[in-house]
Structures are given as structure tokens and as C-alpha cells.
């Protein structure tokens, strides 16, 4: 278990051919540059982007040190560069377990003195217990389930915990790349291909191009600043200012050390009295991270809600960009062909998580060309996108929802009582598939509108919403709990209410095209 990540084959990948291999860290960087990584086989879903950004910052720091901007390098280059990055005559900083706690270990800062290490207490017996998902309510992954864990699992858990964690009670501070302790660190970018190697190559090109900007005011970073924050001893009482850091610094936010126990490992840790990186409250997580959008109102780092990447938010991030300034990595690739918008985040709360959220939006070639420009065509797309969101909500609230209440209430003579809590739970369970399906069709429809008139585009969207709502209602008609003796009446009244409401609120827009 005492693996040296520079020399030992730790990280699992799948090649484009389907073959699986395990690689050392330098060999992995070589494979990424050569386009040979189809997937990370050992990374859990929520760890993939933490690992991706870690590999980008790490490689960027090596390239800057070597005065080179080309990420396509061989294993020997990366091995020598990673060793020079630590400025040590040993590989302790790349070794998972180092017996002497006053020396660095991978993602584990040195303890200033051996006596102080006696205050470290058991923190995690398995990698997932150490991981950032320890804040979850066990609805994404079950806690403490990786018994007999591998070196790779421990390494990825350390990366996830040290670079993605928020505040977790007194003494457990989070990273500086988020807007406050109860916020979350997103990964937002655009790519020509979602293959991990291609993502890494495209982000590396953008990262190296951004370096000069981050070394100028108003940024405080220094070219000779700290890069690997687990190299510097930390007693937990003091923090480092941004003016002591390299722009590509790799963060560690917790005091933790892995120690062997029999054939397994255990993580020890202790609370800290201060965050590892000290920033002012006004910074609000805006520390130059190129995967993080910013609020236009106050330039604070983007923080996702429990709704995740819902259509309204995606519309803003991709099209209108009214509320959020795009992340630097969001810049659409200018080459011909389609693109992919990628976004992920583990939404945090006060000691809880609202789940891991991810979105992949295909951007058709015509849409990409339009989004790269500014003018009437893009403004039209923004207006249509807003109208479509409003109509999706209107069909839900004005036609489908009251029809479902009428069904479960057995067809009341008057408008159904939509405030009943018990009936509301059942109705919400049927509204969920409506929301999921219209959201999945929203952007494909939007790209089609580029070649349509406004009237035709609106009629198509309303037609899709009507057909979807009817399918949901028909499914509910078969499964609905209904009052005895009023089953047939409930179905008739629900169906009639839906069609009547739809005609009243939406027929005029649909008939504009037919006339």
C-alpha cells in the first residue's frame, strides 16, 4: 500500500480500443497527451472532474516550470518535471504513505513536529469515508463501503477531499475555490469531444494561454509562489495568502495523514484553527479558477442550488449569459463541427449534500456558429428560449397539474383543490417525468428553431409539450388512486379539464400557424 505514484502503476484507464491498463502518474499524463485515455476506470463519477482539474493544474505547473506550453510530452519529461516541482531529493510528496509525519506525503502536508502528530485521531477507515461525499445523506453513494480499498481509491479520495471540500463543522475548513464554506466547486467547460483525453488536451491549451493573465493585476499570484500545497508544513493555525501562490496551485484544505494498520490503511486527522488559504470575504471564491462561472452582479463564484443544472440555469450559462459571466473554459472551440457543454457539481449544504449533478448539452454546428457571434440571431434565440421555458411551466401549472388533481379527487364539480398535501405528493410524482422529458428535449428543439420561423418554432414546442403532458396524464389514468365509484368520472373530468385548459391558454399560439 506504500505506493510511489511516480513509479507504480496506480491509475486505471481504458484505451479507445477497449483495453484496460494501469499507469503511473507520469505515464498517465503521457497517455492523455497522446489521446489514449477513453475513461478513468477507477474513478467514481463524482471524482472524475476533481481528478481532471487536478491533472490540468499539475501538468500546467510542470510546463510553466519547464518554460514549455506543449502538453504532448513523453513519460520521462513528466517524471523529471514532477520531481523538480517538489524541489526535493526524494519522492515522498508522491508516495501515499510516509512513515515520518514531518515529511510530506501525497496530498498530505507535513506535521511541524512528531509530538504534534500525537494529536491526530482516526478520521476514516475507508477511502469513501475520507472522500468529499462524507457529507452526503447516503443517497449518492453509501458511506464506508470500500473495504479492502486499493491505492488508487485512496489517492482519488485524497484528491477529491483536499480539492473539493467545503466547511464541515468547526475546524474542518473548505477550499478557497468556492463562494463560502457551504458552497460548491463546479466544473463548467465546452469541448469538441467528451473523451477524457480530448477534454484534457483542450483545457491544457486554454489553461496555458490564461497563465499570463493570472500573473497580472488584479490577480496577486506569483510565478515563484507555492504550487503543491502539501509540500509546506502546516500546524493548522495559519493560512497562506493568494500573494504567496502560483496561479496553478493545487490546494489541500485538511490536516490528514494515511497510516498502515495491518494490511490496510487508515486516515488520521485533526481540526485546524484556520483555513489553509486566507482570502477576504469579498473575494467570494473568485480566485481565477477557469472552470468556475462568476455572478455578474458581484463577481462571486457560481454556486449551484439543489436543483442542479436545471434548464433555466443552463440557458443562462450557454445562451443569454445575463446572470453569469462564463467560465474561461466555456469558450466554444472555433473549429468547424459541433461542441459539447459540460457542467458538474456536488451541491453542498450545512453538513449535507443535495447530490451530484451533471449536464452534457450537445451544441449543433449551426448553433455553435450563432453562439460565437453577437447580434439579432443570438438575441432571437435568447427570446425563444425564454418563451419556451415559460410555456413549459404554464402547461404544467395551468393544464397538467390541475388535471392530475381532478383525477385523484374523483372528478369534482368545481376546480380541484390543488392545495391538498396528500394528493399533492402523488401529483408531484407524475409531474416529475414531465419535467425530465421536456428538459431533455429543450435544447434539441432550440437548435432546430435556427432554421424555422418564430411561429413554426412555437407551434412545434407547444405540440411537443401537449403530447408529453398527454402521455403523462394517460399513464396516470391507468395507475391513479381514485375514490371508489368515481373512477370513470375522475378520468373523464381530468381529461376534459386538461384539453379545456390547453385550448384556453395555448390554442391561439398554435392556431397562428395553421391559419
Distance CA 112, CA 127 (A): 25
> Hunting for cell 453569469 — which residue is that?
324
Kindly state whether residues 331 and 404 are assigned to the same domain.
no
Is 464 within the bounds of a domain?
yes
Kindly state whether residues 206 and 274 are assigned to the same domain.
yes
Kindly state whether residues 33 and 110 are assigned to the same domain.
yes
**Cell for 388?**
419556451
Is 67 within the bounds of a domain?
yes
Q: How far is CA 253 from CA 107, 142, 250, 259, in A?
A: 10, 24, 10, 19
**pLDDT, position 141:** 44
pLDDT band (50, 70, 90) for residue 2: confident
Beta bridge partners of 357: 345
Is 404 within the bounds of a domain?
yes
**pLDDT, position 487:** 61
Q: What is the DSSP letter of 319?
A: I
Kindly state whether residues 99 and 190 are assigned to the same domain.
yes
* Whether pLDDT at 422 is above 80: no
Q: What is the pLDDT of residues 225-282, one digit of tens each?
A: 999 999 999 999 999 999 999 999 999 999 999 999 988 999 999 999 999 999 998 9
CATH number at residue 382: 1.10.132
Long-range contacts, stretch 17-21, CB < 8 angstroms, 24+ apart: none
Distance CA 92, CA 98 (A): 7
Q: Which of 338, 361, 384 is the last residue of a domain?
A: 361
Is 474 within the bounds of a domain?
yes
Whether the CB-CB separation of 12 and 152 falls below 8 Å is answered with: yes
The helix (run of H) or strand (run of E) holding residue 230 is none
Domain hosting residue 312, numbered range: 11-361
**pLDDT, position 150:** 93
**Cell for 359?**
449536464
Percent of the chain exceeding pLDDT 70 equals 92
Is 191 within the bounds of a domain?
yes
Kindly state whether residues 326 and 423 are assigned to the same domain.
no
* Whether pLDDT at 358 is above 50: yes
**Nearest C-alpha neighbor of 247 from the set 290, 186, 302:** 290
Least confident of 5-19, 333-347, 419-433: 419-433
Q: Which of 330, 361, 392 is the last residue of a domain?
A: 361
Kindly state whether residues 346 and 451 are assigned to the same domain.
no
Kindly state whether residues 136 and 228 are assigned to the same domain.
yes
* Whether pLDDT at 412 is above 80: no
Neighbours of 124 (CB within 10 A): 22
Whether the CB-CB separation of 469 and 400 falls below 8 Å is answered with: yes
With H, G, I as helix, E, B as strand and everything else as coil, classify residue 22: strand
Long-range contacts, stretch 39-44, CB < 8 angstroms, 24+ apart: 39/13, 39/14, 39/196, 40/11, 40/12, 40/13, 40/196, 41/12, 41/13, 41/14, 42/11, 42/12, 42/150, 42/152, 42/153, 42/156, 43/156, 44/128, 44/141, 44/156
Kindly state whether residues 123 and 238 are assigned to the same domain.
yes
The helix (run of H) or strand (run of E) holding residue 104 is none
Is 257 within the bounds of a domain?
yes
With H, G, I as helix, E, B as strand and everything else as coil, classify residue 352: coil
**pLDDT, position 507:** 79
Mean of per-residue pLDDT scores for the chain: 91
Whether the CB-CB separation of 108 and 158 falls below 8 Å is answered with: yes
Kindly state whether residues 69 and 117 are assigned to the same domain.
yes
Considering its fold, how many domains does the chain have in total? 2
> Hunting for cell 449534500 — which residue is that?
353
Q: What is the pLDDT of residues 40-72, one digit of tens each?
A: 999 999 999 999 999 999 999 999 999 999 999
Kindly state whether residues 333 and 444 are assigned to the same domain.
no
The angle that helices 401-408 and 454-479 make with each other, rounded to 10 degrees, is: 20
Kindly state whether residues 310 and 412 are assigned to the same domain.
no
**pLDDT, position 136:** 41
Output the CA torsion sign for 333, 334, 340, 343: positive
433: left (phi over 0), alpha (psi -120 to 50) or beta: alpha
Higher pLDDT, 491 or 475: 475
Distance CA 314, CA 331 (A): 15
Q: Which of 337, 361, 385 is the last residue of a domain?
A: 361
Is 371 within the bounds of a domain?
no
**Cell for 474?**
394517460
Kindly state whether residues 327 and 383 are assigned to the same domain.
no
Is 447 within the bounds of a domain?
yes
**Cell for 265?**
490503511
The helix (run of H) or strand (run of E) holding residue 385 is helix 376-394
pLDDT band (50, 70, 90) for residue 18: very high
Beta bridge partners of 188: 343
* Whether pLDDT at 410 is above 90: no
Least confident of 203-207, 338-342, 399-403: 399-403
Whether the CB-CB separation of 8 and 96 falls below 8 Å is answered with: no
Higher pLDDT, 144 or 193: 193
Amino acid at each position: 500500500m506504500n505506493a510511489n505514484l511516480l513509479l507504480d502503476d496506480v491509475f486505471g484507464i481504458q484505451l479507445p480500443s477497449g483495453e484496460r491498463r494501469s499507469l503511473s502518474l507520469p505515464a498517465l499524463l503521457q497517455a492523455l497527451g497522446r489521446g489514449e485515455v477513453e475513461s478513468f476506470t477507477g474513478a467514481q463519477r463524482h471524482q472524475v472532474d476533481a481528478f481532471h482539474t487536478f491533472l490540468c493544474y499539475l501538468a500546467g505547473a510542470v510546463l510553466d516550470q519547464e518554460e514549455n506550453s506543449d502538453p504532448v510530452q513523453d513519460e520521462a519529461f513528466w517524471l523529471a518535471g514532477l520531481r523538480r516541482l517538489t524541489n526535493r531529493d526524494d519522492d515522498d510528496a508522491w508516495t501515499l504513505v510516509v512513515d515520518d509525519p514531518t515529511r510530506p506525503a501525497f496530498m498530505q502536508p507535513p506535521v511541524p513536529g512528531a509530538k504534534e502528530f500525537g494529536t491526530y485521531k482516526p478520521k476514516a477507515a475507508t477511502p469513501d469515508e475520507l472522500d468529499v461525499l462524507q457529507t452526503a445523506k447516503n443517497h449518492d453513494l453509501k458511506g464506508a463501503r470500500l473495504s479492502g480499498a486499493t491505492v488508487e481509491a485512496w489517492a482519488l479520495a485524497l484528491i477529491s477531499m483536499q480539492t473539493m471540500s467545503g466547511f464541515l463543522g468547526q475546524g474542518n475548513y473548505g477550499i478557497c475555490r468556492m463562494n463560502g464554506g457551504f458552497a460548491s466547486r463546479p466544473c463548467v467547460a465546452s469541448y469538441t469531444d467528451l473523451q477524457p483525453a480530448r477534454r484534457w488536451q483542450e483545457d491544457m491549451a486554454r489553461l496555458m494561454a490564461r497563465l499570463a493573465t493570472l500573473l497580472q493585476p488584479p490577480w496577486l499570484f506569483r510565478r515563484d509562489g507555492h504550487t503543491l500545497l502539501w509540500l509546506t508544513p502546516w500546524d493548522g493555525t495559519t493560512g497562506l495568502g493568494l500573494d504567496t501562490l502560483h496561479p496553478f496551485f493545487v490546494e489541500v484544505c485538511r490536516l490528514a495523514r494515511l497510516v498502515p494498520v495491518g494490511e490496510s490503511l487508515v486516515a488520521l486527522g485533526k481540526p485546524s484553527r484556520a483555513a489553509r488559504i486566507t482570502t477576504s470575504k469579498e473575494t467570494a471564491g473568485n480566485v481565477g479558477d477557469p472552470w468556475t462561472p462568476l455572478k455578474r452582479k458581484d463577481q462571486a463564484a457560481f454556486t449551484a442550488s439543489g436543483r442542479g443544472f436545471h434548464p433555466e440555469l443552463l440557458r443562462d450559462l450557454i445562451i443569454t449569459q445575463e446572470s453569469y459571466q462564463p467560465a474561461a473554459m466555456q469558450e466554444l472551440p472555433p473549429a468547424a463541427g459541433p461542441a459539447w457543454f459540460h457542467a458538474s457539481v456536488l451541491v453542498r449544504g450545512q453538513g449535507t449534500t443535495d447530490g451530484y449533478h451533471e449536464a452534457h448539452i450537445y451544441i449543433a454546428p449551426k448553433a455553435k456558429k450563432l453562439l460565437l457571434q453577437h447580434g439579432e440571431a443570438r438575441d432571437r434565440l435568447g427570446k425563444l428560449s425564454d418563451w419556451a421555458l415559460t410555456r413549459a411551466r404554464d402547461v404544467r401549472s395551468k393544464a397538467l397539474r390541475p388535471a392530475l388533481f381532478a383525477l385523484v379527487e374523483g372528478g369534482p364539480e368545481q376546480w380541484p383543490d390543488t392545495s391538498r398535501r396528500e394528493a399533492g405528493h402523488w401529483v408531484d410524482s407524475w409531474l416529475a417525468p414531465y419535467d425530465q422529458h421536456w428538459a431533455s428535449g429543450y435544447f434539441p428543439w432550440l437548435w432546430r428553431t435556427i432554421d424555422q420561423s418564430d411561429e413554426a418554432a412555437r407551434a412545434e414546442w407547444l405540440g411537443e409539450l401537449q403530447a408529453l403532458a398527454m402521455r403523462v396524464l394517460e399513464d396516470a389514468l391507468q395507475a391513479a388512486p381514485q375514490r371508489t365509484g368515481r373512477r370513470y368520472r375522475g378520468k373523464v373530468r381530468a381529461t376534459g379539464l386538461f384539453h379545456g385548459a390547453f385550448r384556453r391558454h395555448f390554442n391561439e399560439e398554435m392556431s397562428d400557424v395553421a391559419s
